[in-house]
Amino acid sequence: MTTEEVAAKLQSLQDDPNMATVSKYSPTAPEWPDNRLPFVEIHLAYLRAHKAVNPAHYISNLELMIRKR
Contact 44, 6 (CB under 8 A): yes
pTM: 0.85
Mean pLDDT of 14-28: 89
Q: Note every long-range contact of 47-51, with CB atoms under 8 Å and residues 24 or more positions apart, other chains counting.
A: 47/6
The answer to whether residue 28 scores a pLDDT higher than 80 is no
Counting the structural domains of the chain, the total is 1
| Interatomic CA distance for residues 20 and 25, integer angstroms | 16
Domain limits at 39?
3-66
pLDDT at position 10: 95
Contact 15, 8 (CB under 8 A): no
Cα atoms found within 13 Å of the Cα of residue 67, Cβ hemisphere only: 6
